[in-house]
Structure 1
Amino acid sequence: MDEPVFVIHGVGNRDEADFARTVAGLRTATGLALVPVYWGDLGADDRFVDLALPRHRPARDTGLRDVEEAPPDAEESMAVLESLFGPSASAPALLRDAGEPPAALADALRAAMGAADDGLRGPGGHPDPDDVLAALAELWPTARWLALVDDPGLLRATGTALAAAVLEEGTDDSWAGLRGPGDEKGLRPLLRRRLHDLDRVAGAAVQAVAGRVNHQLRAHYGPGATRFLGDVLVYQRHRAAIHARVRERIDAVAPGLGRDPEHPVRVAAHSLGGVIAVDMATAADPLWTSSLLTFGSQPAYFHLCDPRGGQLPPYADEKPVPLPRSLARWTNLWQPLDALAFAASRVFRLADGTPPVDVPLPHTASAGLWTHSAYWRLPEVADAVRGTFAAG
């Protein structure tokens, strides 16, 4: 058998056969003797984690959408939008004078009414745009959702819709008492009704978008993040048992491999598997490792947050942490959209004084947003495995 390369998986792996197939595909792509090291059965029990996740509130029938999923309220919707886009998502509304319709809306209303001008103004004709805007300014603070809008296109559409409502009311004497109290046929009551209708539509749209974004983010990122945190917690408490599993797998293939500097092991590791590999290679009784390839991994991050011990001193005085001779070479791959991938070259130094080699991988559209599990399918990873280990 060719000199083996032991492949340690990361978080969230609960299917040993599936992991073996993944490594087999990488073995075919590289032509190397890759050996899967499975420890997922020792990881977190995530069967019931849904019980700890917030649930949707009971559905409410708003009359504007299906009742299968309740929309978030205004505060929750804005919290979702601000968490995605920052405080600027609602800042425009805060910076505007709440009593003054935005310029884009006002300009569109003037333009629409000007285009329909038939020379009829005042009693018995269309009201003057200035009168319409004055009445609208009084009503604008009641617009809960439109007051948050800063998109020019939506504001122009709102202004045009309000102008159309005014123009379609007709040219009868209903415009005579424009702002008379209790005059439900006057301009102000009409604008109040139309503004309310448009505001409800805008609110339903914002809530629908925010609700779907919130749900999709939870559905997309929730399982991966939950399994990551769960496996990290279990590894911190049961590190010895997982290390023993790795050594058992290595001994089953080549007894004594990795036990001394004359018989080092070669390791490729994903995610938390990279932390396991570095912890073992730098332990007081190390797993002697001639070449290590990590991808989407966190050893540097974990060591900065909580020094790993073994032969590694804490990071201090802005000086890189020296790695022992038991970890001879280290290449670290990361994807730009993988929030769980960290660089190593600024934190560590190998025994020969060189840093680990950090290699950024290009993001591919097929990887989607959750890229932490995409490494196994990337040809760049297969190339890196081949380049790191083919020379022996």
Structure 2
Amino acid sequence: MTVDAHARPPGHLKDPAFVIHGVAHRDRDDFAREVAALQDAAGVELVPVFWGDLGAQEEHIRATLPSTAALRRYPADEGLRDGTPVPQDPGAPPLARSALLDHGPTALEPAARLTAVEAAVREQYASPPADSGLRAGGPPSSAPAVEDVLELLREEWPRTEWLCHADDPALLAEVGHALANAVSDTADIAERAGEPLDDSYDGLRATAPEDGRLRALVRRRLRDLDRVAGAAIEAVAGRLNHLLRSRLGPATTRFLGDVLVYQRHQAKIHARVREAIDAVDPALGRGPDRPVRVVAHSLGGVIAVDMATASAPLWTSSLLTFGSQAAFFHVCDPRGGQLAPYAGGQGVTLPPSLSRWTNLWEPLDMLAFAASTVFRLHDGSTPVDVSLPHAASDGLWTHSAYWSLPSLAEAIATAMGHAHAEDGALG
């Protein structure tokens, strides 16, 4: 299926907007269908610019990826580790556990983690929730003193495998609440059953706490909570590992493959874009009197910016990019043409051949980058960065999810319509 650029419905803008795809597009007809759907939704005539046949050869990419079957050679309790010992500081958590539980510079210090649990125990002792089954106003009178519970907590805490490395305040608070509830519930049940709980009885107030039921209860509940936390983290880690290998890995590899091809065959791909524009009107984009409008995804945005800022530029009245990396590439390796290297501060001034730029990004798209912090338009304003809402149904690989988002069609209608109005005013 193709879109006939010359068969323009009545009422559509005089010149169409050209859509340049990004990485991993290999089917011309599928791309044309995506563009046709966007055209219907946006109400703007769109012409697909296909260059996927010039992209990376990906039929053998999977041969370069580690096999998931190899993971099954190692014991289940190794988690994400590959069976090879990893040098670590004494007492440091295993590498996978540290990666899963460490939240960076804002993480709680080890002492603060235990303090957070202790505070939650005290809080629960002071005001248990109404639906907890405990007596109103606090734990039962036979419950052990909170300081006794905290003393045993401090002794058992270093023996936990997962919790002592966790630094999420909500998780630590729930651990403290659950531990306090377990102690109070046990005391409440014993009291209601008429069990003696004086100091002569080896109960929750045992004279030898190292042998008593309180110590056993704290140890058992803390270890239960530790196992639950560990099982939950391992389950998430396993799914994440599978996702990284089965979806994110190949997708990222295709991205890198197309980037490498573009760096080597930039002229061929630019020529393909120029051919698509010339097929509509050879005068388009040749000067400021007939600029083009461009919509570009991913690496297509890099292509569009490179062409609009080249020494012999593609004059562009409005550019809309989504999930694109133009700013990232320019910061890492200056693109040349009419662009100066990025040196911080006010950003790089774009030439007048790129009049307007709207840049869309999705929060979980790891291949999407901001434009306004690196570039300035010729009139002193900045490109407009717009965050699109994340849909849970899109999962974690959202780089290709833009095409079906209603907000993309709305953004195209706004950006391209605004550019047309300005072109008409200039004319």
Task: Please tell me the TM-score bracket, short chain as reference.
Answer: 0.7 to 0.9
Q: Determine if contact 2:295/2:412 at 8 Å carries over to the other structure.
A: no
| Aligned twin of 2:274 | 247
| Aligned twin of 2:416 | 385
Equivalences for 1:323-362 in 2 at 5 Å?
A: 323-324=350-351, 327-335=353-361, 337=363, 338-339=365-366, 340-344=368-372, 347-350=375-378, 353-355=379-381, 357-358=383-384, 360=386, 362=388
What secondary structure sits across from 1:313 in the alignment? Answer: coil
2:256 aligned residue (199, 222, 229) = 229
TM-score normalised over the length of structure 1: 0.73
Which shows bigger deviation, 379-388 or 260-269?
A: 260-269
Deviations, residues 291-317 of structure 1 (Å, cap 9, x unaligned): 231222333332232221223333458
Relative to structure 1, the CA distance from residue 14 to residue 93 in structure 2 (aligned partners, 3 Å threshold; closer, same or farther) is same
d(CA) in 1 for partners of 2:201, 2:76: 35
Structure 1 position 52 matched with structure 2 position 80: no
Which shows bigger deviation, 263-272 or 367-376?
A: 367-376
| Aligned twin of 2:160 | 143
Relative to structure 1, the CA distance from residue 174 to residue 168 in structure 2 (aligned partners, 3 Å threshold; closer, same or farther) is farther
Equivalences for 1:301-316 in 2 at 5 Å?
A: 301-316=328-343
Relative to structure 1, the CA distance from residue 139 to residue 302 in structure 2 (aligned partners, 3 Å threshold; closer, same or farther) is closer
% identity of equivalent residues:
45
Structure 1 position 298 matched with structure 2 position 325: yes
- What amino acid sits opposite 2:111 in the alignment? L
Relative to structure 1, the CA distance from residue 320 to residue 367 in structure 2 (aligned partners, 3 Å threshold; closer, same or farther) is farther
Q: Determine if contact 2:327/2:369 at 8 Å carries over to the other structure.
A: no
- What amino acid sits opposite 1:331 in the alignment? W
d(CA) in 1 for partners of 2:341, 2:147: 70
Deviations, residues 222-276 of structure 1 (Å, cap 9, x unaligned): 5554433332222112212211222233334444654566665443322221221
| Aligned twin of 1:271 | 298
- What amino acid sits opposite 1:52 in the alignment? L
| Deviation of 1:24 (Å) | 1.1
| Deviation of 1:37 (Å) | 0.6
Relative to structure 1, the CA distance from residue 178 to residue 87 in structure 2 (aligned partners, 3 Å threshold; closer, same or farther) is farther
Q: Determine if contact 2:16/2:47 at 8 Å carries over to the other structure.
A: yes
Q: Determine if contact 2:293/2:416 at 8 Å carries over to the other structure.
A: no
| Deviation of 1:25 (Å) | 1.8
d(CA) in 1 for partners of 2:291, 2:147: 84
| Deviation of 1:346 (Å) | 5.5
d(CA) in 1 for partners of 2:263, 2:148: 70
- What amino acid sits opposite 2:24 in the alignment? G
d(CA) in 2 for partners of 1:145, 1:152: 15
2:234 aligned residue (207, 216, 222) = 207
d(CA) in 2 for partners of 1:80, 1:46: 32
What secondary structure sits across from 1:57 in the alignment? Answer: helix
Relative to structure 1, the CA distance from residue 174 to residue 307 in structure 2 (aligned partners, 3 Å threshold; closer, same or farther) is same
| Deviation of 1:17 (Å) | 1.2
d(CA) in 2 for partners of 1:212, 1:206: 10
| Deviation of 1:164 (Å) | 4.8
TM-score normalised over the length of structure 2: 0.68
Structure 1 position 29 matched with structure 2 position 19: no
What secondary structure sits across from 1:333 in the alignment? Answer: strand
Equivalences for 1:120-269 in 2 at 5 Å?
A: 134-148=151-165, 150=169, 151-162=172-183, 164=185, 175=202, 179=208, 188=215, 191-212=218-239, 215=242, 221-222=248-249, 224-255=251-282, 257-259=284-286, 264-269=291-296
Q: Which runs of 5+ in 1 are unaligned?
A: 63-68, 119-125
Structure 1 position 95 matched with structure 2 position 95: no
| Deviation of 1:8 (Å) | 1.0
d(CA) in 2 for partners of 1:127, 1:53: 54
| Aligned twin of 2:104 | 86
Q: Determine if contact 2:49/2:273 at 8 Å carries over to the other structure.
A: yes
| Aligned twin of 2:19 | 7
Which shows bigger deviation, 257-266 or 340-349?
A: 257-266
Deviations, residues 331-354 of structure 1 (Å, cap 9, x unaligned): 22323625513224852443xx45
Q: Determine if contact 1:29/1:382 at 8 Å carries over to the other structure.
A: no
Relative to structure 1, the CA distance from residue 137 to residue 167 in structure 2 (aligned partners, 3 Å threshold; closer, same or farther) is farther
Relative to structure 1, the CA distance from residue 115 to residue 310 in structure 2 (aligned partners, 3 Å threshold; closer, same or farther) is closer
| Deviation of 1:96 (Å) | 5.0
d(CA) in 2 for partners of 1:283, 1:36: 22
Relative to structure 1, the CA distance from residue 310 to residue 140 in structure 2 (aligned partners, 3 Å threshold; closer, same or farther) is closer
Q: Determine if contact 2:19/2:35 at 8 Å carries over to the other structure.
A: yes
Relative to structure 1, the CA distance from residue 204 to residue 6 in structure 2 (aligned partners, 3 Å threshold; closer, same or farther) is closer
Relative to structure 1, the CA distance from residue 259 to residue 178 in structure 2 (aligned partners, 3 Å threshold; closer, same or farther) is same
d(CA) in 2 for partners of 1:260, 1:348: 21
| Aligned twin of 2:31 | 19
d(CA) in 1 for partners of 2:380, 2:417: 22
Relative to structure 1, the CA distance from residue 211 to residue 87 in structure 2 (aligned partners, 3 Å threshold; closer, same or farther) is farther
| Deviation of 1:7 (Å) | 1.6
d(CA) in 1 for partners of 2:249, 2:256: 11
